[in-house]
Chains A and B, each alone.
Chain A
Amino acid sequence: MSDVSTTHEHTRTSSPAGGSPEDLHPGQLEDIVQLICPDGARTASPGFDPWVADVTDEDLLGLYEDMIVVRRIDTEATALQRQGELALWAPLLGQEAAQIGSGRALRSDDFVFSSYREHGVAYTRGARFGDLLSFWRGTTASGWDPYSIGMATPAVIIGAQTLHATGYALGCKHDGVDSVAVAYFGDGATSQGDVNEAMVFAASFQAPVIFFCQNNQWAISEPVGLQAQRHISDRAPGFGIPSMRVDGNDVLAVLAATRIALDRARRGGGPTFIEAVTYRMGPHTTSDDPKRYRPTGELDEWAAKDPITRLGRLLEGRGVLTEDVATRVQQKADAVAYEMRAACVALERHPDPLTVFDQVYSGPHSGLERQKSQYAAYLASLDGAQS
C-alpha cells in the first residue's frame, strides 16, 4: 500500500464547489480528503479507498447510528443544562463524524487524551453516562477512571493533553507494545506552546501518537484565520510529522485517515497529524452567544454539509436506511437519552462537605489532616447551634 498520507501527496478526486485552482488561496493547495460528498455520493480515492475497503454497508449503518446517538446525547445534555440539571455543556453538534470516525478506528488498548468537547469519542470508548455528565453537573472533579476506558479525563487547559499523549506514546514505544496514543484538540489549541512542543517531542522521539485536530473554524469568538494563515495541517511537516487534511464531516474519510495514522504508528513510523475540517454548529458552550460574532449565513452553509445527513443519503440510496431502520435508530437514540437523563439526575448534588479534602494526596498529609479536623469541628459546631 502506498504511503498516501504525507502532505500534499494525495490527490483530490472530488471537487468541492468553487474549487478551480484560480479560486484557491494563493500559495495553497486545496487539498482535502473526501469519500462521501454532502449529497451522499461516494467518490473514489485511490489513496484512501483501500483503507476502508472492508467497511460493509452494515458497518456504515453502525457509524450512522453512532452519530445519531451522540447528536441525541448532545441535544439531551444541552436540554439538561437549560433545565438547571447541568452547570455547563460544550456541545459537539456538527462534529459527530470527526469524533465517531476517529474513535471507532481505535483499539481498546489505544489511549485517548482529549479536550472537553469529545463526548462522541468518550461514547466510542464506552464511557458511562453518569461519568460523562458528573463533571458538567459540578458534582465531581471528573467522570471516568482513565484506565477503565482508555481515555484520559478531559483537559480544560487548552493544549496540555497533547504533551500527555506524546509521553504516553513514548511509554508504549519503550514498552514494546503497539498501542497508540491519540491527542484530540481544536484549531485554537494549535497556537499554544504546549501543542507545538508536543509535535517537537513526538517527532524527535518518533512517538506513536496521532495529533487529531478538529478544526471547527472557531475558538470561542475567534475565527481560525486568527490562529493560522495556512491550513493547520501544513504546520506538521515543518516539525517532521506527516499530515493529512480530511473532510471532518465525512465519517468514512475520517475513519480512513485515522486507520492510516494508526497503522503507521503501530509499525514504528512515528506520529501523524490529522486536520479534520468541520464546524461547531452550536455555541462554544451553553454560556456562549455566537450571535455576537458568527457571520450570518455561515451556519446554513455548513448545515448543507452536515455529517449525518450525507451518510443518511448514501445509505438511503443503497437501500440500507429504510424507514424501519431509521425508526429503530431513532428509538435507540431516544433510549440512550432517557438513560442518560436518569443517570444525570441520580448524581448526588450535595456531597458530604468533608469530601472536599479527599484525594488531594495519595496518602495522609499532616497539614490537610489538621484543616479537615478543624473543619469537621466547625461543621459540628453549626449542628450544635441548630439543635
Chain B
Amino acid sequence: MTEMTLGAALNSGLRRALADDDKVVLLGEDIGKLGGVFRVTDKLQEEFGPRRVIDTPLAEAGIIGTAVGLAYRGYRPVCEIQFDGFIYPGFDQIVAQVAKLHYRTRGAVKMPITIRVPFGGGIGAVEHHSESPEAYFAHTAGLRVISCSNPQDAHSMIREAIACDDPVLFFEPKRRYWLKGEVSDDADGLPMGNARVLTEGSDVTLVAYGPLVPTALDAAAAAAEDGTSIEVIDLRSLSPIDFAPIEASVRKTGRLVITHEAAQSGGIGAELAAAITERCFFWLEAAPARVTGFDTPYPPAALEDAFLPDLDRLLDAVDRVMGRRNSLTGWKASA
C-alpha cells in the first residue's frame, strides 16, 4: 500500500504495463520529455526509451490511425489525447476504424488499443479543455468505455484496459488528478467492467462516474446528516453498463439519481434512466432524476460553476425523488 495521487497511480499503472508486456507502446503529443501536460507519463520515456514512449507529430488522426497499424502488427498501443476537446480530429479513426475492425474482419484482427482522455471541467481552463465527450463513444459499437474516480481504480483499470483485446476509451477525471488515495497491486480485483457500490444506503441510489464521484460522496454525507440514506454507486464502466448492482440498489431504494458533467440529452444518464425504468418500473417510487451539464457548449471559466453539477444540485434532486420540496416540482415527486 502506497499513498499516491490519481495521476501518479496512472503513471505507475502505465509503468507496470510497459514492464509486463514489451508490445505495449505509448503514443501521444508531449508525452516524452515533458511527461504529458499532466505528467501522467512522467519519466516513462527516460525509462523505456523513445521506441516505447513515442512523442508523435501533432495530429490526433495520425496518433489513432498509426495505433491501428501497430495493433495490426501485434502491438498494444496506448494513445494519449492531450485534452478531451482534441479527440475530434481522431474521431473518424476511432469510430470508423478502431471500433469496427474486429467486426469487419470477423474477429481476425484485434484492436487492443487504449485511448486515454483527460476529461471534464472544473479547472478554469479555456475552450476545448473541459469537455465530456464520453457519450459519443458509448454510442459506438465496438468500443469499451470506462472511467476511474480514485487512485486505486486508476492504477488497476488502466492496466486492465491495456490488457483487454478490445479497444478501450479510458476517461481520466482531470480535476481529480491530484486526489490522493491508497494504491496496492492486489486491490479487490473488481473488473473494469463492473460498477462499485461505494456507500450502502436505503433511500436513494445515486450513480456517478469519474470526476463527480467525490461530489456524490459529499452529497451522501450531507444527506445523511439530514437523515437521508444514499447508496452511491461508481459506474466505472459506461459501455457496457453493469446494471446488476444498480438494479439491486433501486429495488431497495426505489429512487434513482444520476449525475454527469456531460450534457443531458442523449447522455449516459438518459440510457441509465431508460434501462432502469424498464427493469425496475414496479419498484420505482419516483421518476429517475438526472443532474448533468446543460445542453450547451462548455462555458467560459467564469460560468463553469453554473454549468457543473454540484452538491446543492444533487441534494435538490434527492429532495425531488424523495417527494420533498424541491426547485423543479415543488412538493410533488414528478413534473
Say yes or no: A380 contacts B59, CB within 8 Å.
no
The CA of A351 and the CA of B303, in the complex, are separated in Å by 7
Q: Which residues A4-24 have CB closer than 8 A to chain B? A: none
Instruction: Provide the residues of chain A in CB contact with B303, threshold 8 Å.
Output: 351, 353, 355-356
Known: A157-B85, A351-B303. A293 touches B34 (CB 8 A): yes
Say yes or no: B296 contacts A158, CB within 8 Å.
no
Say yes or no: B35 contacts A292, CB within 8 Å.
yes
Known: A356-B303, A378-B316, A382-B312. A371 touches B295 (CB 8 A): yes
Of the listed stretches A60-68, A136-144, A201-209, A313-321, name the one at the interface; the rest are far from the partner chain. A136-144
Instruction: Quote the shortest CB–CB distance from A115 to chain B (angstroms).
Output: 12
Say yes or no: A371 contacts B264, CB within 8 Å.
yes
Interface centre among A135, A139, A378 (most CB of B within 10 A): A378
The CA of A377 and the CA of B58, in the complex, are separated in Å by 45
The CA of A226 and the CA of B62, in the complex, are separated in Å by 13
The CA of A39 and the CA of B113, in the complex, are separated in Å by 53
Say yes or no: A138 contacts B302, CB within 8 Å.
yes
Q: Is A44 an interface residue (CB 8 A)?
A: no
Instruction: Provide the residues of chain A in CB contact with B125, threshold 8 Å.
Output: 87-88
Say yes or no: A193 contacts B126, CB within 8 Å.
no
Instruction: Provide the residues of chain B in CB contact with A368, threshold 8 Å.
Output: 294-296
The CA of A194 and the CA of B58, in the complex, are separated in Å by 11
Q: Is B165 an interface residue (CB 8 A)?
A: no
Known: A355-B303, A381-B316, A382-B312. A87 touches B126 (CB 8 A): yes
Instruction: Quote the shortest CB–CB distance from A244 to chain B (angstroms).
Output: 23
Say yes or no: B127 contacts A141, CB within 8 Å.
yes
Instruction: Quote the shortest CB–CB distance from A364 to chain B (angstroms).
Output: 13
Partner of B124, one of A138, A367, A374, A382: A138
Q: Is A338 an interface residue (CB 8 A)?
A: no
Considering the complex, give the chain A residue whose CB is closest to the CB of B299: A356
Q: Which residues A159-214 have CB closer than 8 A to chain B? A: 188-189, 191-194
Say yes or no: A87 contacts B301, CB within 8 Å.
yes
Instruction: Provide the residues of chain A in CB contact with B327, threshold 8 Å.
Output: 374, 377-378, 380-382
Q: Is B313 an interface residue (CB 8 A)?
A: yes
Say yes or no: B302 contacts A141, CB within 8 Å.
no
Partner of B86, one of A157, A227, A377: A157
Partner of B126, one of A156, A192, A354: A156
Q: Is B190 an interface residue (CB 8 A)?
A: no
Kindly supply a per-residue 1/0 record for chain A positions 111-148, scoring 1 wherever the CB is within 8 Å of any chain B CB and 0 otherwise: 00000000000000000000000011111110000000
Q: Is A350 an interface residue (CB 8 A)?
A: yes
Say yes or no: B89 contacts A140, CB within 8 Å.
no
Say yes or no: A156 contacts B127, CB within 8 Å.
yes
Considering the complex, give the chain B residue whose CB is closest to the CB of A136: B126
Known: A87-B125, A381-B326. A191 touches B32 (CB 8 A): no
Instruction: Quote the shortest CB–CB distance from B145 to chain A (angstroms).
Output: 23
Q: Is B70 an interface residue (CB 8 A)?
A: no
Say yes or no: B301 contacts A360, CB within 8 Å.
no
Q: Which residues B81-97 have CB closer than 8 A to chain A? A: 85-86, 88-89
Q: Which residues B291-311 have CB closer than 8 A to chain A? A: 294-297, 299-303, 305-307
Instruction: Provide the residues of chain B in CB contact with A135, threshold 8 Å.
Output: 126-127, 300
Instruction: Provide the residues of chain A in CB contact with B264, threshold 8 Å.
Output: 371
The CA of A220 and the CA of B86, in the complex, are separated in Å by 15
The CA of A375 and the CA of B85, in the complex, are separated in Å by 26
Instruction: Quote the shortest CB–CB distance from A354 to chain B (angstroms).
Output: 8
Partner of A360, one of B33, B55, B297: B297
Q: Is B191 an interface residue (CB 8 A)?
A: no
The CA of A226 and the CA of B33, in the complex, are separated in Å by 13
Instruction: Provide the residues of chain B in CB contact with A374, threshold 8 Å.
Output: 327-328
Say yes or no: A156 contacts B128, CB within 8 Å.
yes
Say yes or no: B300 contacts A193, CB within 8 Å.
no
Instruction: Quote the shortest CB–CB distance from A221 to chain B (angstroms).
Output: 4
Say yes or no: B33 contacts A371, CB within 8 Å.
no
Kindly supply a per-residue 1/0 record for chain A positions 38-53, scoring 1 wherever the CB is within 8 Å of any chain B CB and 0 otherwise: 0000000000000000
Say yes or no: A157 contacts B128, CB within 8 Å.
yes
Kindly supply a per-residue 1/0 record for chain B positions 308-322, scoring 1 wherever the CB is within 8 Å of any chain A CB and 0 otherwise: 000011001000000
Known: A140-B300, A356-B299. A192 touches B58 (CB 8 A): yes
Say yes or no: B57 contacts A191, CB within 8 Å.
yes
Instruction: Provide the residues of chain B in CB contact with A356, threshold 8 Å.
Output: 294, 296, 299, 303, 306-307
Say yes or no: A357 contacts B296, CB within 8 Å.
yes
Instruction: Provide the residues of chain A in CB contact with B127, threshold 8 Å.
Output: 135, 141, 156
The CA of A62 and the CA of B324, in the complex, are separated in Å by 69
Say yes or no: B302 contacts A139, CB within 8 Å.
yes
The CA of A222 and the CA of B28, in the complex, are separated in Å by 11
Known: A380-B327, A381-B326. A87 touches B297 (CB 8 A): no
Instruction: Quote the shortest CB–CB distance from B44 to chain A (angstroms).
Output: 14
Instruction: Provide the residues of chain A in CB contact with B300, threshold 8 Å.
Output: 135, 138-141
Q: Is B37 an interface residue (CB 8 A)?
A: yes
Say yes or no: B89 contacts A220, CB within 8 Å.
no
Considering the complex, give the chain B residue whose CB is closest to the CB of A289: B34
Partner of A189, one of B30, B58, B312: B58
Instruction: Provide the residues of chain A in CB contact with B56, threshold 8 Å.
Output: 226
Partner of B62, one of A191, A220, A357, A377: A191
18 A-B residue pairings within 8 Å (CB atoms): A87-B124, A87-B301, A138-B124, A138-B302, A141-B300, A156-B127, A157-B128, A191-B59, A191-B62, A221-B33, A222-B58, A292-B35, A356-B303, A357-B296, A360-B296, A368-B295, A374-B327, A378-B328
Given contacts A356-B299, A360-B297, A374-B328, 16 further A-B contacts (CB under 8 A): A138-B124, A138-B301, A138-B302, A141-B300, A156-B127, A188-B57, A191-B57, A191-B62, A220-B30, A221-B32, A227-B58, A351-B302, A353-B303, A357-B296, A371-B264, A381-B326
Binding site for B on A (CB under 8 A): 87-88, 135-141, 156-158, 188-189, 191-194, 219-222, 226-227, 287, 292-293, 348-351, 353-357, 360, 367-368, 371, 374-375, 377-378, 380-382
